[in-house]
Structure 1
Amino acid sequence: MQTFLTFIVVGFSIALPVGAITVEMTKQGLKNGFFHGLTVGAGGMTIDLLLILALYAGFAQFLSLPFVQIPLLIGAVFLMILAYDSIKHADQDIHLAGEKVNKSFAKTYRNGLLVAVSPGNLVFWVSVFGAVLADAYTKTDSSEFMLAAAGILAGILLHDIGLLTLVSLTRKVMNRTMIKWTSIIAGILLLGFGCYFFYEFYIGIKVYF
């Protein structure tokens, strides 16, 4: 239990820095409400869980290879598309607090999946989370490793719930114009993340040629 609680704190702490998932969760939370924002987080955590299982199976070095990361550039491309859509349609699909939301949860979940599937997120998991979980694995048995991984995911979930609770409270006092400009800012940030992922991928693969 101590391991689980310790890694809840670790997961919460690692989730605090603002990333592409955080930006998309906040945008969806403001435009469509708490559960749509949380669905984005669920999409991201699905990828996190798959990467944990891959690290547990010993694929850390394989996941670091450039040719493995090439297909994941679709995530960076999707960030660009999402950024464009966020800016172009900033004044559309806005549902104020109390209004009925018609947006599909499946599409919101897909956004979370594709934002999380990027070279940047993969490198982050292999380098940061991989090191944390590898340390837990070397010091304990496999069951403790999975307990540590569960703690990290629980910490991320707590962060997402806390963030979206604040977003929901903020949403109640925001009008359509304020949410529109928030969507535009989110689009600019997502575009920045997409460019950053492309740059990091280029730097990473350059050393092999």
Structure 2
Amino acid sequence: MFLEKVLLGVTLAAPIGPVSLEMIKRGLRNGFLGAFIVRLGGAIGNTLCLIAAYFGLSLFDNTSPSLAFCSLAGSLVLIYLGVKSFLDKRSHLLSLTLDIPRYSIGNGLLTGFILSIANPIGIIFWLGIFAATLDSSIDGKTWLGLFENFAIIAGVLTWGICLSGVLELGKRFFNQKLIHSITMIAGLMLIFFGLKYGYKAVGQLLTIFPLA
């Protein structure tokens, strides 16, 4: 289960979004650390949202219809993100940007943090993801449920290390074709996770609201 959630974190972070774009800009100019510091700041923001989602879910018990509906909503979000990533045909600017200064740790952390929490529905997003991935054998009110989902953040950071490593090699190894390949694979994996957790959520709802 831990490795599965690490993989989910990787697939959530892999599609090119605001944090990844900032990593690319800084990484192509400043190398590994310039890119990874941004991802680390983003992961801190993600962690705060995840903790907020934990306290939100602690209001419900494992048999609550509200928790089951949150789980289903989170599954649908994963499927939506997967379809969106798989169909993404955008071109992303890969040229070195001269107005990007040499990295500073504080600036990179703050930029990644702000980008990760700037979306007003961020906590709602993590609420759905947390509910969808919560192991039914674990009481959502215990700290174990929270620490289990920190594996998602570990996956986000794992992807940050991989992307930063590629950016360290330079623009010759990081091109538009590679971006499209990564985005499509991540999209397929997100769809897979969405369908898996959605199946579990529907099963929970049928248990609570039997058809006959």
Q: Same fold (TM over 0.5)?
A: yes
Aligned residue type for 1:122 = A
Structure 2 CA distance for aligned equivalents of residues 158 and 24 of structure 1:
16
Contact in 2 for aligned 1:21/1:41 (Cα 8 Å): no
Unaligned runs of 5+ in 2: 26-34, 102-110
Residue 183 of structure 2: aligned partner: 187
- CA shift at 1:53, angstroms? 1.3
Structure 2 CA distance for aligned equivalents of residues 123 and 16 of structure 1:
15
Structure 1 CA distance for aligned equivalents of residues 123 and 82 of structure 2:
8
- Coordinate RMSD, CA, aligned: 4.7
Which structure's residues are more often helix, by fraction?
1
Structure 2 CA distance for aligned equivalents of residues 131 and 151 of structure 1:
9
> Which among 1, 7, 29 is matched to residue 17 of structure 1?
7
Residue 205 of structure 1: aligned partner: 202
Residue 94 of structure 2 aligns to a residue whose secondary structure is: coil
Normalised TM-score (structure 2): 0.55
Residue 168 of structure 2: aligned partner: 172
Aligned residue type for 1:191 = G
Aligned residue type for 1:123 = A
- CA shift at 1:17, angstroms? 3.0
Structure 2 CA distance for aligned equivalents of residues 115 and 197 of structure 1:
18
- CA shift at 1:40, angstroms? 4.3
Structure 1 CA distance for aligned equivalents of residues 121 and 67 of structure 2:
22
Moved over 4 A (4+): 95-99, 104-109, 114-121, 148-153, 155-163
Structure 1 CA distance for aligned equivalents of residues 189 and 38 of structure 2:
21
- CA shift at 1:163, angstroms? 5.0
Structure 2 CA distance for aligned equivalents of residues 112 and 24 of structure 1:
18
Contact in 1 for aligned 2:86/2:184 (Cα 8 Å): yes
Aligned residue type for 1:23 = A
Residue 131 of structure 1: aligned partner: 138
> Which among 62, 66, 84 is matched to residue 81 of structure 1?
84
Residue 54 of structure 1: aligned partner: 56
Structure 1 CA distance for aligned equivalents of residues 171 and 164 of structure 2:
13
Unaligned runs of 5+ in 1: 1-9, 138-144
